[in-house]
Amino acid sequence: MAGPASLAAWTAGLTGAKRAAAGVFLGAVSVLAFAPFHIWPVLFVSLGGLVWLLDGCFRARATRPARLSCAALTGFWFGFGFFVTGLYWVAEAFLVEPWRHGWLIPLVMTVLPGGMALFFVAGCVLAMAVWHPGPARIFALALGLGLSEFARGHVLTGLPWNLIGYGLLANAPLMQLAALFGVYAVTVFAVALFAAPAAIWNGGGARSRGALLAAGLLFVLLGTSYVWGEMRLAGTREAPAPLRVRLVQANIDQAEKWRPENATGIFETYLDMTRRPGLEAIDIVVWPETALPFPLDTSPDALAAIGAALPANTVLLVGSARWTERRNAHGILLDRHAYNSLMTVNSEGQVVSVYDKIHLVPFGEFLPYQEVLESLGVMQMTGVRGGFTEGAGPRLLDVPGAPPALPLICYEIIFPEEVRPPPGLRSADARPGWMLNVTNDAWFGSSAGPYQHFHQARVRAVELGLPLIRVANTGISAVVDPLGRILAEVELGIQDTVDAELPVAGPITPYALWGPWMTLLALGTAVLGWLVCRKRIGSPNLTGQPRSTYEFDGAGKLGTMSSRRSFITAPFEKDNGREETQPN
């Protein structure tokens, strides 16, 4: 066991540029746990290394402010590495029109990861505030990062992309945990699980019997979860509804899509693909987000052509921008609003229902301080003057001949709590029958972005127990059942259609009923684990040595050890730069 002990001590002892580089590296390799790689065991390395770095902050700093400052820097570098690699694909969108946006790439690839890293700063600072040698620090980190990941999904419109819990939900059996707890609660468990093995050794190389026991318990829970997930999958057969859907993935290049001379050709491509053999047996045809480079609801010729192409009782669900105007009695324009919408078109070419996107993408569909920034020549990625306007709801779409759908445009599907139906729609009779996600991931080419987006969409299906129909312009388009299994798929970068039966909804899940309470349960369990470990686990080592404390000189450097006082209780009492502790 000398190897892990030495590695723990070496990692904890890193300072300066070496500590920063280690943090960036550990954050960067964490991304291998997510789509398209799903090498989730790498989180044992990255989060374990983070534990040892924080151990170094605790051991080598004599005062509480110094420890918190060290933890903040450690969290920043870890977070920067995590987001610069996990969100690199955002730069692809700036290359669609490089003459307009290309100059922003260096700024985006530093400011965005740096800003998002602040959530890891907060998580590590909170963890350090209650840091304690031995197993308690496992739960301290789970609590800190669990809260910061939850905040990341809500602050400033939120971006819960690649939450740590998604790493644990990489395979179908473990994905079933989402039905019970949701990804936020799973994130708390995942942090504790992946941090536990490294926490067996502290930054000084000593071993903790309590951390070993805690790691064992967490691995038992992991194995139990996997077995339960396998049983759930084996015991639930695919149950298709008597409805057939056709997914149309036209694979239109984003750089070509908005050129006026291409509009007719794009529309004809979608019509031709829709009319492929077997259409008479199809009940629902789905085109992706903003499939057409013109507003469909004010294009009567296009609506008439769609009506002529659709058999009787077949409907088209299509993403399209739309504009509304308000004028006074004299016909003077008062205001004009643009919406990113999802429309239902029947076989007579009529728009029979509309859903307007509620959660818009900052800097993509709108700008903070829109008028001020536009006056300076800054435009959001879509280039719509004035930006898009958020829809008013409700988040439900009537589809003739089919159960009501839960419509989600683009990245709306990554927000777990927004996707959960409101209380009045959670009963078996009132809940939606399926989820419909239309998106345009063509902005991000063949990068990891579309794969990560699709994986998070699958987790939403499991969380709510609802089947998912997902159609993307360039992929990935798929039919997913309520357990997250892919029943039909068109892969990324392919022009094709796929026909499949719409699965029926599964039983309503515990997460759909009690979502926020499950997150609070997970956080409360982390607090309880910390309290139990701090109070009952006496020694951070298995060597049989007396309980010890580390003493520091006036500069805060690690000095001698004293066996007269406990190392793990009351760690923050100070006396002239020397760290004192109280006996158990």
Do 477 and 470 form a contact (C-beta atoms < 8 A)? yes
Instruction: Calculate the alpha carbon distances from 550 to 65, 203, 220, 266, 534 in Å.
Output: 18, 12, 34, 70, 18
Pull the structure tokens for residue 148: 């910061």
Do 443 and 92 form a contact (C-beta atoms < 8 A)? yes
How far apart CA 85 and CA 116 sit, in angstroms, is 12
**Residue-level pLDDT, tens digit, the chain, 584 residues:** 568 889 999 999 999 999 999 999 999 999 999 999 999 999 999 999 999 999 999 999 989 999 999 999 999 999 999 999 999 999 988 888 887 778 888 988 999 999 999 999 999 999 999 999 899 999 999 999 999 999 999 999 999 999 999 999 999 999 999 999 999 999 999 999 999 999 999 877 778 888 999 999 999 999 999 999 999 999 887 777 789 999 999 999 988 888 889 999 999 999 999 999 999 999 999 999 999 999 998 999 999 999 999 999 999 999 999 988 777 777 777 778 889 999 999 999 999 999 999 988 887 777 776 666 666 666 666 666 667 888 887 778 999 999 999 999 999 999 999 998 877 677 777 789 999 999 999 989 899 999 999 999 999 999 999 999 999 999 999 999 999 999 999 999 999 999 999 999 999 999 999 999 999 999 999 999 999 998 765 444 433 344 444 444 444 444 444 443 333 333 434 443 334 333 33
Q: Residue 421: is the preceding peptide bond cis (ω within 30°)?
A: no
In this prediction, residue 2 carries a pLDDT of 64
Q: What length does the chain have?
A: 584
Q: DSSP string spanning 86-126?
A: HTTTHHHHTTSSHHHHGGGHHHHHHHHHHHHHHHHHHHHHH
Do 65 and 22 form a contact (C-beta atoms < 8 A)? no
In this prediction, residue 376 carries a pLDDT of 61
How far apart CA 174 and CA 183 sit, in angstroms, is 11
In this prediction, residue 551 carries a pLDDT of 40
In this prediction, residue 349 carries a pLDDT of 94
158 three-state secondary structure:
coil
556 dihedral zone (left: phi>0; alpha: psi -120 to 50; beta):
left
In this prediction, residue 103 carries a pLDDT of 83
Chain-centre distance for alpha carbon 439: 16
How far apart CA 149 and CA 506 sit, in angstroms, is 28
Predicted model pTM: 0.89
Residue 17, Cβ density class (10 Å: 0-12 exposed, 13-18 middle, ≥19 buried)? exposed
Instruction: Calculate the alpha carbon distances from 291 to 249, 351, 435, 454 in Å.
Output: 10, 15, 19, 18
In this prediction, residue 572 carries a pLDDT of 37
In this prediction, residue 199 carries a pLDDT of 93
223 three-state secondary structure:
helix
Q: At what angle do helices 64-86 and 42-60 cross, to 10 degrees?
A: 160
Residue 198, Cβ density class (10 Å: 0-12 exposed, 13-18 middle, ≥19 buried)? buried
Q: Supply the residues annotated as catalytic.
A: 289, 357, 410
How far apart CA 469 and CA 60 sit, in angstroms, is 53
| Residue 324, strand partner residues | 337
Pull the structure tokens for residue 344: 């239902």
Q: Residue 476: is the preceding peptide bond cis (ω within 30°)?
A: yes
In this prediction, residue 481 carries a pLDDT of 96
In this prediction, residue 362 carries a pLDDT of 86
**Neighbouring residues of 321: CB distance < 8 A, sequence distance ≥ 6:** 290, 295, 338, 339, 340, 341, 384, 388
End-to-end CA distance of the chain: 28
Query: Among candidates 523, 511, 494, which has minimal Cα distance to 252?
Result: 494
In this prediction, residue 565 carries a pLDDT of 39
How far apart CA 196 and CA 136 sit, in angstroms, is 10
Domains along the chain? Answer: 2-233+516-580 (no CATH), 240-358+393-505 (3.60.110.10)
Placement of tokens 């298995």 in the chain: 542
| Residue 397, strand partner residues | 405
Q: Other C-beta atoms within 10 Å of 431: how many? A: 20
Q: What's the 3-state SS for 251-298?
A: CCCHHHHCCHHHHHHHHHHHHHHHCCCCHHHCCEEECCCCCCCCCHHH
